[in-house]
Structure formats: structure tokens, C-alpha cells
């Protein structure tokens, strides 16, 4: 099979502008990759391979039971018969799941044409359905059935066999692939419906990177409990920061972190690095210099204006995930490394 590697908009590499340079004090905070397994069970996320049959809610319930935790949640519902990537956040990391709501998705599916069509015509219609399309949610959906615009980033006809089409699609969050197949059949004047679907990507959660089954999770947790060996569990639980890997970021100096944790907005003096892709009014992730997630904010200026600003508020604070007093108060005497 030919290479099927495509890119979502979030795949564009981070381009940092250096507003000011600073070094993070090692006595405060903890780099995500150095967290203990106890911390990961409270602030972690797993890349779960959802099986066909159960609902996404049922799968998350099993995750809670396996790990013996009180809270877990998933990043984007899959229909019972749909398989594939289902990010599951653990403990307090469930509050970060909103970051995945707007993350791009990728699927591989099988479409069935009601009457045979020429392969050139099929590929042409797939090309026409790439870009911004109008889509009305299907009857069986949890949202209001209003006509809306969704972007199809890329499509690929992988194989055509009789009336069956194996295809790949990368799309904006909120796209109904089942409806996409129906509309494509209407455009072909032959009719079509979706037979099978597998999600292969959600943001930075990919089918090719540490995708695990419920049995893998159960085995790793059993080894952790019975042998006091967290090696395998640490291999499959990611820090919650993985859920914001697709979001533009602003990196904050140590002395400004706790002010944000107390609800303050982000001032120019607290910024060290800015993602050059940032636009005014954009959702951004506030990060420490150790790459810990602090929270979300909305920018009041674009990246270059933030870079040049000598003072003033640069972003409004929306939601904070980091606990208070992990970093020093801004008015505390700075400790030496």
C-alpha cells in the first residue's frame, strides 16, 4: 500500500519568538516526563483503541474500574460500531479534555456504492468534497440539525473493489463521516452509505503511537499492583500536556505562574516565549518553562505585538489546571538554584 501520510493543520511545527530568556528553578514544579505514576494516574491520559460494540461511555467506565480511579473521560465520542483512537483522560486531567474538542480528526472507512461507478469519477467527487463543505447533522445525532460548514483537510481513495471503496479522510472536529458518505453518494447519483469506520487520529493521538487495548491496560496495571513495577504503566500513560500539543502556546517565567493560578490575566512581563502562529482572539495554552500546562487563555494581541509589547495585558485567563502554590508568589523573595 502506498504511503498515506497526510498532515492536519496542527502539524505545522511550533515557531517560538523569544521575548525574554529565563531559566526555571528546579525546586519548583516538575517536568511532565518526570512525574510519578501516582501523579500520572491523576494527571494523565491514555491513547485507547476502542473496540467495536460498546459505547464510548462504557469503555471509559471500564478504564475507571481497571485503574481503580474515581474519574475518567474521553476526548470525542465514537459510535458503538466505530473503532480506533479514543483518548481517555484520568482524574483531574479530564478538565483538559475540552482541548481535544477542536482537534482535527482522521479516519479510514469503507463506503458502499448502491450502483457501480467509474473509478475516475469516484476520485473526482472525493476531490470536490475536499475543502470547506456544507453539512447537516444526521437524524441520529446529539446536536441541532442546522446546516453548518466543516472543513475536509484531505481525502484519499485507497482502493476500489466492485461497489466497495476504502478511503481515508482528515477533517475538522464535528464532521459526520457517515453523512459525508451519504452526500458523496448523492453527488455520484448512485447513492452510498458507510459500512465501516475506524478513527486513526485525534490531534496528536495517533494509531501508530502507543495505541493500547483495554487488555494492555489491565495487564500493565496488574503488573504494577502485584510486582510494584510501574515500567509498563508509565509506557502507556502520557502526561496531560499531550492533549494540548496541537494548541499554540505561550511560555511563562516562574515568577508569573502562581499569579495565573490565582486567576490573574497574563501580562507582558511574565512572558518568555511566544508561538509565532498566534492571532488575536485565539485560544492558547499557558505553559511553564518546564513545559507543564498551567491553563488556557485568549490572546488580546497577535504574536508580533505581544513580542514587541513592553507592558500591559496580553491574554485573558480562561481556565486554570495547575494547583496554586506550586510556584512562588510574585512578591516572594527569589530562591537561588
Which carries the bigger pLDDT value, residue 2 or residue 165?
Answer: 165
Provide the terminal-to-terminal Cα distance of the chain, rounded to the nearest Å: 54
**What does pTM read for this prediction?**
0.90
**Predicted confidence (pLDDT) at residue 335 exceeds the cutoff of 50:** no
Task: Say what the pLDDT of residue 331 is.
Answer: 60
Which pLDDT tens digit goes with each residue over 11-67? Answer: 888 889 999 999 999 999 999 999 999 999 999 999 999 999 999 999 999 999 999
The residue ranges of every structural domain in the chain are: 12-35+247-337, 42-102+205-242, 105-202
Share of the chain above pLDDT 70, in %: 95
Which pLDDT tens digit goes with each residue over 249-271? Answer: 999 999 999 999 999 999 999 99
Task: Say what the pLDDT of residue 178 is.
Answer: 93
Averaged pLDDT for residues 305-327: 96
- Positions annotated as catalytic residues are 79
Task: Say what the pLDDT of residue 138 is.
Answer: 73
**Predicted confidence (pLDDT) at residue 337 exceeds the cutoff of 60:** no
Looking at CATH, the fold of the domain delimited by 42-102+205-242 is given as Pseudouridine synthase (3.30.2350)
For residues 267-299, one letter each, b for 16 or more C-beta atoms within 10 angstroms of the residue's C-beta and e for the rest, the string is bbbbbbbbbebbeeebbbbbbbbbebbbbbbeb
Question: Structurally, what CATH architecture does the domain formed by 12-35+247-337 represent?
Answer: Roll (2.30)
Which carries the bigger pLDDT value, residue 6 or residue 25?
Answer: 25
Contact (Cβ atoms closer than 8 angstroms) between residue 46 and residue 236: yes
The vertex-263 CA angle with 262 and 264, nearest 5°, equals 100
Instruction: Give the residue from 42, 40, 63, 39 showing the smallest Cα distance to 51.
Output: 63
Contact (Cβ atoms closer than 8 angstroms) between residue 260 and residue 284: no
Task: Please state, rounded to an integer, the average pLDDT across all residues of the chain.
Answer: 92
Which pLDDT tens digit goes with each residue over 119-143? Answer: 999 999 999 999 999 998 777 666 6
Task: Say what the pLDDT of residue 102 is.
Answer: 85
Share of the chain above pLDDT 90, in %: 86
Q: Looking at domain 105-202, does it have CATH number 3.30.70.3190?
A: yes
Which pLDDT tens digit goes with each residue over 85-116? Answer: 999 999 999 999 999 988 999 999 999 999 99
Amino acid at each position: 500500500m502506498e504511503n498515506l501520510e497526510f498532515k492536519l493543520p496542527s502539524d505545522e511545527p511550533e515557531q517560538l519568538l523569544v521575548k525574554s530568556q529565563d531559566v526555571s528553578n528546579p525546586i519548583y514544579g516538575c517536568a511532565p516526563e518526570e512525574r510519578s505514576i501516582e501523579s500520572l494516574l491523576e494527571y494523565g491520559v491514555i491513547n485507547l483503541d476502542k473496540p467495536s460494540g460498546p459505547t464510548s461511555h462504557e469503555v471509559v467506565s471500564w478504564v475507571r474500574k481497571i485503574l481503580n480511579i474515581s474519574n475518567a473521560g474521553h476526548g470525542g465520542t465514537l459510535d458503538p460500531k466505530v473503532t480506533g483512537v479514543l483518548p481517555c483522560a484520568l482524574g483531574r486531567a479530564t478538565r483538559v479534555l475540552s482541548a481535544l474538542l477542536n482537534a482535527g480528526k482522521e479516519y479510514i472507512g469503507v463506503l458502499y456504492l448502491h450502483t457501480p461507478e467509474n473509478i475516475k469519477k469516484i476520485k473526482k467527487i472525493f476531490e470536490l468534497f475536499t475543502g470547506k463543505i456544507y453539512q447537516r447533522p444526521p437524524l441520529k445525532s446529539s446536536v441541532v440539525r442546522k446546516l453548518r460548514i466543516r472543513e475536509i483537510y484531505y481525502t484519499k481513495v485507497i482502493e476500489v473493489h466492485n461497489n466497495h471503496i476504502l478511503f481515508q479522510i482528515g477533517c475538522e472536529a464535528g464532521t459526520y463521516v457517515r453523512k459525508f458518505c451519504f452526500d458523496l453518494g448523492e453527488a455520484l447519483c448512485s447513492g452510498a452509505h458507510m459500512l465501516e469506520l475506524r478513527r486513526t487520529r485525534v490531534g496528536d493521538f495517533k494509531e501508530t503511537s502507543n495505541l493500547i487495548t483495554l487488555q494492555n491496560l489491565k495487564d500493565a496495571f496488574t503488573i504494577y499492583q502485584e510486582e510494584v513495577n510501574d515500567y509498563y504503566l508509565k509506557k502507556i500513560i502520557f502526561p496531560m500536556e499531550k492533549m494540548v500539543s496541537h494548541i499554540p502556546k505561550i511560555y511563562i517565567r516562574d515568577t508569573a505562574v502562581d499569579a495565573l493560578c490565582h486567576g490573574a490575566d497574563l501580562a507582558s512581563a511574565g512572558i518568555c516565549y511566544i508561538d509565532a502562529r498566534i492571532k488575536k482572539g485565539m485560544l492558547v495554552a499557558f505553559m511553564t518553562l518546564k513545559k507543564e500546562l498551567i491553563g488556557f487563555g485568549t490572546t488580546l494581541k497577535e504574536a508580533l505585538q505581544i513580542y514587541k509589547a513592553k507592558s500591559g495585558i496580553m491574554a485573558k485567563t480562561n481556565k486554570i489546571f495547575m494547583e496554586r502554590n506550586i510556584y512562588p508568589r510574585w512578591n516572594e523573595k527569589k530562591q537561588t538554584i
